[in-house]
Amino acid sequence: MKKKINQDRNANRTVAFQGEDGAYSQEAIFKMFGPETKTLPCGTFDDIFLAVENGKAELGLLPIENSTAGAINQSYDLFLDHDLKISGEIIFRVRHALLAAKGSAIENIRRVYSHPQAIAQCEQFIASHGWEAVAVYDTAGAARQLAASGEPDAAAIASETAARLYGLQILATGVEDLSNNFTRFFVIGHSEPPRAEKSKTSIVFATEHVSGALYDCLGYLALRGINLTKLESRPDRRNAWHYVFYLDFEGHREDQPCRDMLNDLQNKSSFLKVLGSYPAADI
């Protein structure tokens, strides 16, 4: 009965993602919420935030980092422009496929279309064939455009789902350079979920521009025995040559050690924003 209730709940839920049908983000949504979940394709990462803020979607799925290509900087920057909360995370195994129009052969390929992150994740594979890499805004969009153009000497790097959706043939699978190719996504919405047994919290803060300021701020985590899981610095677009720091740590913001640490950090930092506490994904 509980499973049926969850299925009905997800069937009425709309989750926004960047890209077109067949994108890896959409596959990650189906993995987390189920294949019956409604999805809303968006042109940009900013459009994901706007869709949730405007009520077009209940939640959004935002890629935040890849295990081989690194952080997705634009995603981090948007948390300073919007006030949505992180309500979950997904660790999704990305398996890239080389797609081409029907009748094309791999020896005839001269260029490959895909998202810049996918190109970076398949850099050695592309270079080994001497192909030109052409960046487009989305992996599934690359597949759709290739299906429309039918270019016999071009290919797209996208998902096998995209191949089925757009009628392309699969020339090769698993073309990513490293087998441990995972993308981490944040689920964003208007509220945080109930406290989970295994939680994680994300924050962004800035320090005074003085010697030892960051060292002092990070010391509060060690003092409270809190495990730091991620630290990312980004330019503060409001102040030239100043930086903000995105930080993930184990624990919920309402746990006493975390509450004490955040209070200390609030007093020491020049800016602090809690982005959310959420169930930690299994790695």
Question: At residue 6, does pLDDT exceed 70?
Answer: no
Q: Please give the residue that has the higher pLDDT: either 247 or 5.
A: 247
Structure confidence by residue, pLDDT tens digits, 197-235: 999 999 999 998 899 999 999 999 999 999 999 999 999
What value does the mean pLDDT take over residues 65-69? 89
Length of the chain: 283
Mean pLDDT of the chain: 93
H helices, E strands: number in the chain: 10, 15
Task: Kindly report which listed range (5-19, 87-101, 141-155, 176-190) carries the lowest average pLDDT score.
Answer: 5-19
CB-based contact 248:201 (threshold 8 Å)? yes
Looking at 3.40.50.300, 3.40.190.10, 3.40.1670.10, 3.40.50.1000, the CATH number of the domain 2-94+182-189 comes to 3.40.190.10
Question: At residue 196, does pLDDT exceed 80?
Answer: yes
Structure confidence by residue, pLDDT tens digits, 161-182: 999 999 999 999 999 999 899 9
Instruction: Tell the CATH topology of 199-279.
Output: Alpha-Beta Plaits (3.30.70)
Query: What per-residue confidence (pLDDT) applies to 10?
Result: 62
What percent of the chain is modeled with pLDDT above 70?
96
CB-based contact 207:242 (threshold 8 Å)? no
What's the token pair of residue 108? 């005839």
- The active-site residue, picked from 37, 183, 201, 207, is 183
- The active-site residue, picked from 17, 33, 185, 249, is 185
161 labelled catalytic: no
Q: CA 64, CA 76: separation in Å to the nearest integer?
A: 7
| Residue range 97-173 in CATH 1.10.540.10 | no
Are both 2-94+182-189 and 97-173 of the same fold? Answer: yes
What percent of the chain is modeled with pLDDT above 90?
89
Residue 183 confidence class, pLDDT cut points 50, 70, 90: very high
Structural element, H or E, at residue 162: helix 160-166
Query: What per-residue confidence (pLDDT) applies to 69?
Result: 84
Structure confidence by residue, pLDDT tens digits, 7-63: 455 667 999 999 999 999 999 999 999 999 999 999 999 999 999 999 999 999 999
Query: What per-residue confidence (pLDDT) applies to 1?
Result: 40
Please report, for the chain, the start and end positions of each structural domain, with discontinuous segments joined by +.
Answer: 2-94+182-189, 97-173, 199-279
> Model pTM?
0.88
- The 8-class DSSP code of residue 195 comes to P
Backbone angles phi and psi of 91, in degrees to 5: -105, 115
Residue 120 confidence class, pLDDT cut points 50, 70, 90: very high
